[in-house]
Structures are given as structure tokens and as C-alpha cells.
Amino acid sequence: MSAPANPDGPTRRRSFTPAQKLKYLSEYETACETGQGAAFLRRQGLYSSLISEWRKQRDAGLLEGKQPGQAVGRPSAAQAENARLKAQLRKAEAELSMARTALEIMGKAHALLEQISESADTNPKRPKR
């Protein structure tokens, strides 16, 4: 048994402008922060594979400054490597920031313990009964 015919005729493949891709990516990432990413994709009729492809294009800088109707294409090897290195740099910078914050907290905790230790040394001991 074949699928019923579409009364509106054959379905037409959707195409997206670079601006639409960036908009959908932004909205999807916002929805993911609240755990609503899958629901967003269903509402928009999008697939996660499209989102993955668009992310690669965005990270390679292929979506920036493109006019509607202008071909985007796949990133070249150099663009893909550039995007990978930028992502690696962002991750390293985030880890560095976290390490600096941890060191700052440890320094403050050490200073506090030193202060407590000094104040404990200056208190006279009570004689035992």
C-alpha cells in the first residue's frame, strides 16, 4: 500500500538564507538551555543534522556577511581547521578563567586560615582543672 497523495502537490524542499540559519541556531541554542531543544526542532520542522551542519558553517565563518540567495557551501579544510582551533581556544580560555578563580579562592582561604592560626596562637591557654 502506498502513501496517500499530497493534495497540495509534491512537497517542495525548503531552503534557508544565512540570516535564517543564524536566527534558527540562536533560537535553538536558547531552547536547549531550558531543555526545549527537541521541541523547538519539531515546531520548526527542522532536523538536528541541519543544526549540526549550520553550526559548522557558522563556526567556519561562512554565514557572516552573506546576502540572501548567496550560496554558502561547505567549509574548506582550512576553514574547518580554523573553526576547530577557535573552539579549542574558547575552551582553553574558559578553563584558564576557572583555574584563576580557583587559585584566587584558595589564596583567600589560605589567608583566612593563617589569620585564624595567628589569633589562636595569641589566645592564652586556660589552665586545666
Assess whether pLDDT exceeds 60 at residue 129.
yes
pLDDT band at 1 (very low <50, low <70, confident <90, very high): very low
> How many other CB atoms sit within 10 Å of the CB of residue 116?
10
Q: How confident is the model at residue 6 (pLDDT cuts 50, 70, 90)?
A: low
User: What integer pLDDT is reported at residue 123 of this predicted model?
Assistant: 60
Sequence spans of domains, the chain = 15-75, 77-121
pLDDT given at position 57? 83
Looking at per-residue pLDDT, the higher value among 18 and 31 belongs to 31
The pTM of the full predicted model, rounded to 2 decimals, is 0.50
Rounded to 5°, the CA angle 93-95-100 comes to 95
Q: Which helix (H) or strand (E) holds 104?
A: helix 77-122
Query: What is the C-alpha to C-alpha distance for residues 111 and 94, in angstroms, rounded to an integer?
Result: 26
CA atoms within 13 A on the CB side of 12: 5
- C-alpha 31 chain-centroid distance: 12
Tell whether the model's pLDDT for residue 127 goes beyond 70. Answer: no
Q: Which residue has the higher pLDDT, 80 or 102?
A: 102
Go through the chain and tell me how many residues it has.
Answer: 129
Q: Write out pLDDT tens, residues 63-92.
A: 776 555 555 666 677 777 887 788 889 899
Q: How many CB atoms lie within 10 A of CB 36?
A: 13
SS3 62: coil
